[in-house]
């Protein structure tokens, strides 16, 4: 499942502003400079795109050790006693230069500064003074470099070029062409990463304009990445446009829950309201990209069909526990002995089953497993969520934590999209009570008639056909309102943090599950297991769950102690890039994902 460790690169030594640094051979000079804390300004360069050298802002002085052409021996500078450096007479672009042994770079000389100031002056000649209304203000590279290399006044007395200000490039991207500095990042991204070659420049010189090809539009599921990488305010998100200044927003690290890729994200919020989601760099998972559809998931927080309740949580839990108790009570029989007329005497009269979710966090899945065990080996069903992968950052598994169910032991095999065995048990009268965690059973193959045959306890965030049919509804929080962890398609354990406060009347899943766990087994006595195992249904041995505090730290400590593979959860914090687990125990399973940006399915 996980790729083999790459070979260690050959290191060479380069000199940057008098500081020597060891870097892998071929490292881009801009990246090498970062290693010694030197920022080489640039606009067109991006570490994940091809090099074009459009903007000329990254000009540097470059030199190489002098060698006598006749003897091939180093030329020594008599003034210093060291090998002489032959400096090139004109500045070179840093983005187009790769590190070679002995390379010397100077980034702060007067020649370099003059060259950069000249580039800035040309870029600003036709640039509008839109900063007070520009969405890019606060994270604009042109603003930042104008502070360091701008003149502070303009020598341009002619009229500026006028270009389109509000051009619709696609359903999610709006172009302000006057702000464009022709860096071509968006053009290269669309062609090289999104595989949708739709953008290009027309006209020449200062009249050049960014546009879509005739009859085309920027409508792919990665179009908003062009907004992220635009160094100025030319490309704007139609959804975020004119909504909020970025310096007012709080940033919270999170994980995209749209699929098993697990793209790393940043949630931007203010006063409990989420305004946007952007990708967070992780070179092992998503580089610096994410899907457009994943960015819009924050809208579920304020959706009109959010579930909430004014009933105290303890009362809701008591109602749920009452349904569970009735489901687990023995059948009425005067003798209490099984007979041909009453074969189920002494066993649960109304069968109980759990429907857990591959969209729940690792911690929530662990509690679901403990709840099943506390209910006397109650069967657990897991529906799969499948779609078509795009080979980039959207996988066929449309759930973020299928691997989590395997690692925690909630599931022994891969889930199926339809819960055929559960439907059969309901029709046969074997299941009369269902505890459903954040799943709509109608999308898993159950009919409204089948839902009407069972008493449903529903834990979830949004109203659906299952919540409408439920006897007890316990409203819970979205992924943006709580903290936890997921295991992605690489078996990489990744944490997400709470971005905004939870909706009033909804409760953290960990709190709800721990209260349910305590309510159904107050003395630690398990419920006798139901008879008649069903193929494809996971069962657990009955055990007495120890009291568990409804906090993330307490659940993680218990989980790490019981599941050795998740010992990393006991640490104070997971690395920002996640922690790769051993996937060997599940290597034979036929996972649905195909190859994507940083994932290759195991070959069998």
Q: Is 451 helix (H, G, I), strand (E, B) or coil?
A: helix
Q: Where is average pLDDT lowest: 26-35, 327-336, 541-550?
A: 327-336
C-alpha span between 513 and 153 (Å, rounded): 63
Residue pair 368/356 in contact (Cβ under 8 Å)? The answer is yes
Neighbours of 335 (CB within 10 A): 9
> Residue 456 — very low, low, confident or very high, per pLDDT cuts 50/70/90?
very high
User: What element of type H or E holds 65?
Assistant: strand 59-65
CA distance 488 to 38: 35
Q: What is the pLDDT of residue 328?
A: 67
What CATH code is carried by the domain that includes residue 62? 3.10.20.740
The reply to whether 367 and 475 lie within a common domain is yes
Confirm whether 592 is domain-assigned.
no
Q: How many domains does the chain have?
A: 3
Q: Express as a percent the part of the chain with pLDDT over 90.
A: 79
Would you list the DSSP string of 398-444?
A: --S-HHHHHHHTS-SS--BSS-HHHHHHHHTTS--EEEEES--GGGG
Among 222, 294, 296, 228, which Cα is nearest to 263's?
Answer: 294
Segment 515-546, tens digit of pLDDT: 999 998 755 433 333 333 344 444 444 444 45
Q: Are 253 and 389 found together in one domain? A: no
Of 108, 134, 149, the domain-final residue? 108
pTM: 0.89
The per-residue pLDDT for range 133-147, each reduced to its tens digit, is 999 999 999 999 999
Residue 267 is inside which H or E element, if any? strand 264-270
Residues β-bridged to residue 65: 85
Task: Verify that 430 and 493 share a domain, yes or no.
Answer: yes
Q: Is there a contact between 391 and 379 (Cβ–Cβ < 8 Å)? A: no
By the 8 A CB rule, do 136 and 232 touch?
Answer: yes
Q: How many helices (H) and strands (E) does the chain have?
A: 14, 22
DSSP at 172: S
pLDDT for 549 beyond 80 = no
Asked whether residue 323 falls in the same domain as residue 217, the answer is no
Phi-psi region of 89 (alpha: psi -120 to 50; beta: other; left: phi over 0): alpha
pLDDT at position 321 over 80: yes
Task: Please tell me the predicted confidence (pLDDT) of residue 154.
Answer: 85
Mutual orientation of helices 110-125 and 141-149 as an angle, nearest 10°? Answer: 130
CATH number of the domain at 401, please.
Answer: 3.40.50.740
Mean pLDDT to the nearest integer, 359-367: 97
Q: How far apart are CA 26 and CA 101, in angstroms?
A: 10
pLDDT of residue 529: 36
Residue 213 in any domain: the answer is yes
| pLDDT at site 10 | 84
* Shared-domain flag, residues 163 and 211: yes
Torsion 463-467-473-475 (CA) sign:
negative
Question: How far is the C-alpha of 43 from the C-alpha of 30, rounded, in Å?
Answer: 12
Verify that 198 and 148 share a domain, yes or no. Answer: yes
Q: What is the mean pLDDT of residues 556-570?
A: 88
- Nearest CA to 466 out of 448, 480, 479 is that of 448
Q: Which of 65-69, 286-290, 499-503 has the lowest mean pLDDT?
A: 65-69
Residue 603 falls inside a structural domain: no
Please check whether residue 458 is in contact with residue 319, taking contact to mean a CB–CB distance below 8 angstroms: no
Among 592, 488, 575, which Cα is nearest to 255's?
Answer: 488
Average pLDDT over residues 199-224: 95
Q: Is the pLDDT of residue 429 over 70?
A: yes
Residue 450 has φ and ψ, to the nearest 5°, of -70, -35
Are residues 81 and 54 both part of a single domain? yes
Within-domain flag for 117: no
Residue 567's pLDDT is 86
Q: Which is higher by pLDDT, 351 or 287?
A: 287
**Torsional class of 578: left (φ above 0), alpha (ψ -120 to 50), beta (otherwise):** left
pLDDT of amino acid 254: 98
Shared domain for 101 and 143, answered yes or no, is no
Q: What is the pLDDT of residue 256?
A: 98
Exposure on the CB side of residue 335, measured as CA atoms within 13 A: 7
Half-sphere exposure in the Cβ direction for 221 (13 Å, CA)? 13
Residue 596 lies in a domain: no
Residue 4 lies inside a defined structural domain of this protein: no
3-class secondary structure, 566:
helix
Last residue of a domain, one of 108, 143, 158: 108
Average pLDDT, the chain: 90
Structural domain includes residue 65: yes
Distances (CA, A) of 238 to 162, 167, 241: 22, 11, 5
Domain assignment of residue 228, given as a range? 125-300
What ranges in 482-583 are assigned the alpha helix state H? Answer: 509-520, 552-562
- Is residue 290 domain-shared with residue 145, that is, in the same domain? yes
Average pLDDT, stretch 434-451? 96
* Domain identity same for 581 and 468: yes
CA distance 361 to 486: 6
Per-residue pLDDT tens digits for 71-83: 888 899 888 888 8
Q: What share of the chain is helix, strand, coil (3-state, %, to 5)?
A: 25, 20, 55
CA–CA distances in Å: residue 505 to residues 118, 306, 462: 59, 10, 13
Q: What is the pLDDT of residue 340?
A: 36
Question: Of 90, 105, 88, which Cα lies nearest the Cα of 13?
Answer: 105
Residue 355 inside a domain? The answer is yes
Same structural domain, 43 and 144: no
Same domain, 287 and 327: no
Location of structure tokens 């002085």: 61
* 279: confidence class by pLDDT, cuts 50, 70, 90: very high
pLDDT computed for residue 344 by the predictor? 38
Comparing CA positions, the residue from 352, 322, 364 lying closest to residue 422 is: 352
């Amino acid at each position: 499942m996980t790729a083999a460790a790459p070979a260690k690169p050959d290191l060479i030594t380069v000199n940057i502003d008098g500081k020597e640094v060891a870097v892998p051979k071929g490292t881009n000079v801009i990246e090498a400079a970062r290693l010694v804390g030197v920022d080489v300004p640039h606009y067109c360069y991006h570490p994940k795109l091809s090099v074009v050298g459009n903007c000329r802002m990254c000009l540097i002085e470059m030199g190489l050790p002098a060698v006598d052409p006749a003897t091939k021996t180093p030329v020594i500078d008599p003034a210093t006693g060291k090998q002489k450096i032959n400096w090139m007479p004109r500045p070179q672009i840093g983005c187009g230069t790769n590190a070679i042994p002995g390379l010397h770079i100077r980034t702060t000389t007067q020649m370099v500064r003059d060259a950069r100031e000249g580039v800035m002056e040309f870029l600003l000649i036709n640039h509008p003074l839109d900063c007070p209304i520009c969405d890019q203000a606060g994270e604009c590279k042109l603003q930042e470099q104008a502070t360091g290399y701008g003149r502070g006044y303009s020598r341009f007395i002619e009229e500026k070029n006028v270009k389109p200000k509000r051009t619709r490039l696609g359903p999610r991207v709006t172009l302000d062409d006057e702000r464009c500095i022709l860096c071509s990042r968006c053009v290269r991204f669309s062609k090289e990463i999104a595989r949708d070659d739709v953008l290009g420049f027309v006209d020449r010189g200062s009249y050049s304009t960014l546009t879509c090809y005739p009859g085309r539009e920027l409508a792919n599921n990665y179009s908003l990445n062009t907004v992220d990488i635009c160094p100025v305010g030319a490309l704007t998100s139609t959804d975020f446009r004119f909504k909020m200044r970025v310096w007012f927003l709080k940033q919270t690290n999170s994980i995209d829950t749209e699929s098993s890729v697990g793209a790393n994200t940043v949630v931007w919020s203010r006063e409990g309201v989420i305004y946007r989601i952007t990708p967070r760099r992780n070179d092992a998972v998503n580089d610096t990209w994410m899907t457009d559809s994943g960015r819009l998931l924050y809208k579920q927080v304020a959706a009109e069909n959010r579930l909430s309740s004014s009933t105290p949580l303890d009362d809701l839990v008591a109602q749920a526990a009452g349904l569970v108790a009735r489901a687990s009570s023995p059948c009425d029989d005067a003798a209490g002995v099984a007979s041909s007329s009453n074969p189920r005497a002494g066993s649960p009269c109304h069968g109980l089953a759990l429907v857990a979710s591959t969209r729940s966090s690792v911690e929530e899945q662990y509690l679901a497993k403990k709840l099943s065990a506390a209910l006397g080996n109650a069967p657990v069903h897991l529906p799969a969520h499948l779609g078509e992968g795009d080979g980039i950052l959207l996988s066929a598994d449309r759930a973020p934590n299928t691997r989590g169910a395997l690692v925690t032991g909630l599931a022994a095999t891969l889930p199926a999209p339809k819960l055929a065995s559960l439907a059969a048990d309901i029709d046969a009268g074997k299941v009369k009570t269902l505890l459903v965690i954040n799943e709509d059973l109608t999308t898993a193959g159950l009919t409204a008639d089948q839902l009407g045959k069972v008493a449903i306890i529903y834990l979830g965030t949004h109203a659906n056909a299952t919540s409408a049919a439920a006897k007890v509804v316990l409203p819970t929080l979205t992924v943006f309102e709580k903290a936890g962890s997921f295991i992605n398609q690489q078996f990489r354990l990744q944490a997400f943090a709470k971005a905004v406060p939870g909706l009033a009347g909804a409760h953290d899943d960990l709190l709800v599950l721990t209260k349910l766990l305590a309510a159904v087994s107050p003395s630690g006595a398990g419920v006798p297991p139901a008879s008649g195992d069903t193929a494809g249904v996971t069962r657990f041995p009955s055990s007495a769950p120890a009291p568990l505090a409804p906090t993330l730290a307490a659940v993680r400590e218990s989980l790490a102690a019981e599941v050795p593979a998740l010992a990393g959860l006991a640490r104070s914090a997971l690395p920002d890039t996640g922690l790769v687990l051993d996937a060997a125990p599940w290597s034979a399973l036929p996972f649905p994902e195909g190859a994507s940006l940083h994932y290759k399915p195991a070959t069998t």
